[in-house]
Structure 1
Amino acid sequence: MRSAAESPTIAVLDLTAADRAALLRLARGALAASLAGTEPPALPEGDAVRQLCGAFVTLAADGALRGCVGHMRADRPLAHVVREMAVAAGRDDARFPPVAPSELGALRIEISVLSEPTVLAPAVPERIVIGRDGLLVRRGGASGLLLPQVAREHHWGPDAFLAAVCRKAGLARDAWREPETQVLTFQAHVFGETGEA
């Protein structure tokens, strides 16, 4: 894992419009198959979707979050991760009841393809770029992650973003200031069924 000082902007996998469309179809098809109890769709072809990459799949209904689950590590092909996380977002997000088949048509799917996380050392708010950086905090067995778009959607500055990710990890709001807490940043290529996010 690199430090943010070594690599302040990390490249995120470059996806063509065809790659993005194929991944969105895959996510919707995987969720539909899961709800129907049928076989998941085949994985799309293409070099980009075979790259080892982390990703999150977010489901929204009428503009409200309905599920969001992801896999941070770049240890599986992107298409596999998207297919699995689409099903998990609809079924396993503990904040929501499982998606019902009747909801599928109204759901909007968004995919966030993640860069490798980098350690933010020292963890100072001024080094966080809102709208570009996502945050991951770790301390002991606790961890919390917020995607880059979350800060923008909530109109948070860097301090509020850090406090929110600490709370998500079950830590004190200012735990990011303590040396025992590791703060990492990452970037995401975000796209959804209605275009780029």
Structure 2
Amino acid sequence: MLNEKQQKQLLTIARETIKIWLEKKEKLKLPGIDSLLREKRGIFVTLKKNEQLRGCIGMILPEQPLAESVVNMAIESATADPRFPAVSLEELKEIKIEISVLTVPKRVEDYQEIELGRDGVIVKRGFRQGVFLPQVATETRWGREEFLGNLCAHKAGLPEDAYQEKTTELYTFQAQVFS
């Protein structure tokens, strides 16, 4: 778990990264960072403007050190989320940044094991895959079946009830979320 100082450091890194990228198309040079921020972790960077989603990109698996992942995913969230135009420099002051630091996903055999609000979920079948962060269930107030149905249909491009089929893999993870 990250402490408050580490959380603030990552949020500052994310905001400064976006600012420098929008101004100069350069990546932030990371200062000396806490050893915990050098651990490899999966993360998502979510951008909101007036409480509305403005960008959200992440990496589920721990492929890069945490601080480096924040730099890369902050740029991606601000400029490469295909659902939104790129964030402008003028708009940045209105953007709220939320970071989700993920645990390693674990396979679940029965969708009833999924605890809404605690678990993020990955649904996977063949080449199709979708993910919802744990906070999606809370924000949408969906029940388990509605949550999983939307994940299958709208994120993975699968039939709404695919989560019930044996050929579909389900994984859960938890996240430390801060903004």
TM-score of the two chains, using structure 2 as the length reference: 0.96
Counting only pairs closer than 5 Å after superposition, residues 48-197 of structure 1 correspond to structure 2 as: 48-121=36-109, 123-125=110-112, 127-167=113-153, 168-192=155-179
Check whether the contact 1:29–1:40 (CA below 8 A) recurs between aligned residues: no
Residues of 1 paired with 2:143 and 2:30: CA distance? 39
Q: Say if 2:28 is the partner of 1:41.
A: yes
Residues of 2 paired with 1:22 and 1:151: CA distance? 27
| Regions of 4+ moved over 2 Å | 38-44
Check whether the contact 1:142–1:170 (CA below 8 A) recurs between aligned residues: yes
Percent identity between matched residues is 42
Aligned residues: 177
For residues 51-80 of structure 1, what are the alpha-carbon distances to aligned partners after superposition, in whole Å with 9 as ceiling and x for unaligned? 110100000000000000001111210001
Residues of 1 paired with 2:26 and 2:171: CA distance? 37
Give the SS at the match of 1:176.
helix
Residue 90 of structure 1 deviates from its aligned partner by 0.5
Residues of 2 paired with 1:23 and 1:128: CA distance? 29
Indicate the RMSD between aligned Cα atoms, in angstroms.
Answer: 1.0
Give the match for residue 4 of structure 1: none
One-letter amino acid of the counterpart of residue 175, structure 1: A
Q: In structure 1, which of residues 20, 31, 36 is the aligned counterpart of residue 18 of structure 2?
A: 31
Residues of 2 paired with 1:140 and 1:166: CA distance? 13
Residues of 1 paired with 2:100 and 2:28: CA distance? 20
TM-score of the two chains, using structure 1 as the length reference: 0.87
Give the SS at the match of 1:105.
helix
For residues 104-132 of structure 1, what are the alpha-carbon distances to aligned partners after superposition, in whole Å with 9 as ceiling and x for unaligned? 000000000000000011x223x111111
Give the SS at the match of 2:45.
strand
Unaligned runs of 5+ in 1: 1-13, 193-197
